[in-house]
A and B are shown apart, each in its own frame.
Chain A
């Protein structure tokens, strides 16, 4: 049993590595076609790893990706596709920026307060999609996409109409009132790596414990794998949809906190943009598993950090975007192929074991 699980882990990791390798090969071909030298490109890309600043930047960029991938993955675990992480994050960003600046608390409490507000608003925004699914049967893919647009417009309007702080004359960059320093999440390395990194790790650990080590997690996975069977065993699917949507939204609320509490300390337009969407790719590549998410968030963070260096070598920045796209595609395709092969292998082994037993008897 243990041995089989180990085998499965090895097969999964090997297939993900294979996917990354295949993607690198395809990108090398693309580089060649566009007249660039792939060896030079890859030596620049991987050579950047020698710089300590790049490593710090990688962890810093990976922080929101880990949280947003966990938010997506918790939905995936029960076949819910929450594309609304971006919108949930955005609503939470503004709400937290406003609420955090409005009160005064001692440092650790103030940060905690901000995190709770962020999770609560994210969850509330996600609850709309959950409610629509449970009560009206609206597909969550559609409702969360639509709610993203609503969130973007609503937040932009509310920010502009009520919450912009007065700026010095001439300043075009408008923000909300700045958070007091007691709400600033401390840095690990000043202005390079924020302490939210630990929160992201904590989220992944809790995600693992919750999904794989608790009764709720079992019900969640069961409803995802086989809703019919889960219902027979007494799991209420509607309740599961609602709870996982709320949890997904609560995590989504945390995604922007590194940018808000750890960097800018106020809300501004475009803050943390795309981080909600990028989590989807990270989650896919990480196969919805905390360890996989951790590793793929690091990979995406690294690619982002290194893309500037590629540009300096006259290699268009789009190549890293293409690379991440191809990696995700390759993962999906190779995983499916490997899964089929693995199923066949296990079936074969089981049949063989059965056959030998029959023969022995």
Chain B
């Protein structure tokens, strides 16, 4: 790595010719710049976006890179922010969320010397044939696999045989959570009842922060006999936790370990587990790979086999069934269980 830097430093002209080949030429741990671009709604949701931000912070402290963060307010901001990060000198840029698909394709094509990564996004020219973009990585998560495990956990822990799933926007990204959860629950108990509801249609951004809406649905289901509810709806999940506290039932968190982010002991006492989607790992690894001089390209799948997704055991509520869950996990990794992508 160090040797490579030296060569590059001594042959700047050659570098400009081979700009495309040398995606990231910086020396590790010395204030090179990495950018993280958030979508509208961005930071402060306690789960998905904050997890991405944690990955950036980890890169800052462990790799010594300088992290620049930009958050979009309107449509036009996505492309503008990616360009600002490029002109700001970022050598690697991670876009958080699939809405960056088109803007990133455009900006990455115009800036082949910069490495890009997109969380939850699949960019055709970069990750599907034919490959035309070699400086973009699609950071994908097998959220269905993680959801399968928490679904199995819910079925094993449910006393009433009645559980629930609350989704954010009704889009395929979130339906994958639902499909995995339901399949996992039915794998353990074929007769289990799974209530399903979404907080909003596709395009309704309030679905990611509708605490009151999630609470109302959850309170209704708890009153009707459900005892565990899994919520994959960004910040709305706080509503389910509130309802779980009031009804003294269980909630399941998403993306981050919500036992750790919940804060209050009452909340912690009602968070059975969380389906963990290690967005932070994907962000950190993308920045690290680029700063090592070997930037990611193409599909980077984060699944159970590389612990890109998983479940949390904070609180110790799952201690008695961890062995069973790990057996299921092994079967999924081995391909003996296939997790459906759509409900």
Contacts and interface: CB of A to CB of B under 8 A. Distances in A.
Nearest to A320: B73
A232 B158 CA distance: 73
Contact of A152 (B40, B124, B140, B204): B204
A150 to B, nearest CB: 11
A64 B299 CA distance: 36
Interface in A302-321: 304-305, 307-309, 311-312, 317, 320-321
A244 B127 CA distance: 50
Interface stretch (B167-175, B265-273, B283-291): B167-175
Contacts, number: 100
Nearest to B176: A172
Chain A interface residue bracket vs B: 35 or more
Interface stretch (A67-75, A113-121, A271-279): A271-279
A124 B218 CA distance: 38
Interface stretch (A97-105, A134-142, A154-162, A222-230): A154-162
Interface stretch (B18-26, B77-85, B222-230, B326-334): B77-85
Contacts of B195: none
**Chain B interface residue number, banded:** 35 or more
Nearest to B88: A312
Contact of B101 (A60, A169, A173): A173
B120 A172 contact: yes
B260 to A, nearest CB: 25
A292 interface: no
A333 B88 CA distance: 39
A280 to B, nearest CB: 15
B73 A307 contact: yes
Contact of A311 (B71, B106, B121): B71
Given A57-B76, A270-B75, A157 B69 contact: no
B128 A170 contact: yes
Interface string B26-58: 000000000000001000000000000000000
Contacts of B169: 269
A270 B124 contact: no
Interface string A311-337: 110000100110000000000000000
Contacts of A312: 68, 70, 84, 88
B74 interface: yes
Contacts of A153: 201, 204
Nearest to A265: B102
B73 A173 contact: no
A156 B204 contact: yes
Given A60-B76, A271-B75, A312-B70, A156 B201 contact: yes
A77 interface: no
B181 interface: no
B175 to A, nearest CB: 11
B196 interface: no
Nearest to A60: B76
A274 B74 contact: yes
Nearest to A169: B128
Interface of A: 53, 57, 60-61, 152-153, 155-157, 159-160, 168-174, 191, 259, 264, 269-275, 278, 304-305, 307-309, 311-312, 317, 320-321
Given A269-B171, A311-B70, 17 more contacts: A61-B74, A61-B76, A153-B201, A169-B128, A172-B171, A172-B172, A191-B106, A264-B102, A269-B203, A270-B203, A275-B75, A307-B73, A308-B84, A309-B84, A312-B68, A317-B70, A317-B71
The 3 closest A-B pairs by CB, nearest first: A156-B201, A269-B203, A170-B122
12 contacts: A57-B80, A156-B170, A160-B201, A168-B128, A173-B122, A191-B106, A269-B169, A270-B99, A275-B74, A304-B74, A308-B70, A311-B69
